[in-house]
């Protein structure tokens, strides 16, 4: 229970990142990396502005944390992300040895942390990650549904 409250507080920060993406017209997805009770990396989706299909929130946060920590291994880090990681981000999470992933809402079209497949807990890989899902699920999902609803309304 205490861990769940802690998870919710960190997820709230990931939601703040997602809102920054929304403000610049990007799909609102945000992520933060936490180590020893401290934020060591954060990011939000920058795919459109950077013209970069790899600029997902998780990738941005992982790059920032690695730079800050001066390491490619994020062994004691927990990644909080509003949307379930896609195959690319799940791959980067495994490569960077992130200890634990907490995500808000599942992604039926790309989720690779349990929905379509589970790349974070594949015993044939050399690293497996703890996974917790559904933290502030309604808030994380609402960010996306509101964003796409507004987009549709603008196009009318
Ligand atoms: Zn991704």
Q: Could you read off the pLDDT of 74-120 as tens digits, one per residue?
A: 999 999 999 999 999 999 999 999 999 999 999 999 999 999 999 99
> Residues 130-141: pLDDT tens digits?
999 999 999 999
| Residue 64 appears among annotated catalytic residues | no
Cα separation, 119 vs 51, in Å, equals 26
Sheet holding 77-83, edge to edge: 38-44, 30-35, 77-83, 100-105, 130-133
Which pLDDT score is estimated for 1? 62
Per-residue confidence (pLDDT) for residue 137, from 0 to 100? 98
pLDDT at position 45 is 98
Please report, to the nearest 10 degrees, the dihedral formed by the alpha carbons of residues 73, 90, 17, 3 taken in order: -80
Alpha helices in the chain (DSSP H): 2-23, 57-69, 87-95, 137-155
Tell me, in angstroms, the distance from the centre of ligand 1 to residue 118's CA: 14
CA 118 to chain centroid, in Å, comes to: 15
Tell me, in angstroms, the distance from the centre of ligand 1 to residue 1's CA: 29
Between the two ends of the chain, the Cα-to-Cα distance in Å is: 45
Verdict on whether the full-model pTM lies above 0.85? yes
Among 22, 26, 58, 84, the active-site one is: 58
């Amino acid at each position: 229970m205490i861990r769940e409250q802690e998870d919710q507080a960190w997820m709230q920060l990931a939601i703040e990142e997602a809102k920054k993406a929304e403000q610049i017209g990007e799909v609102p997805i945000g992520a933060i990396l936490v180590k020893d009770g401290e934020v060591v990396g954060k990011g939000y989706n920058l795919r459109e502005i950077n013209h970069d299909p790899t600029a997902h929130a998780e990738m941005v946060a992982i790059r920032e944390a690695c730079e800050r920590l001066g390491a490619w291994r994020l062994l004691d880090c927990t990644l909080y992300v509003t949307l379930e990681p896609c195959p690319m981000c799940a791959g980067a999470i495994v490569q960077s040895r992130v200890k634990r992933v907490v995500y808000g809402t599942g992604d039926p079209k790309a989720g690779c942390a349990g929905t379509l497949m589970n790349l974070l807990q594949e015993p044939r890989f050399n690293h497996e990650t703890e996974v917790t899902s559904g933290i502030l699920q309604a808030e994380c999902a609402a960010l996306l549904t509101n964003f796409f609803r507004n987009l549709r309304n603008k196009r009318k």
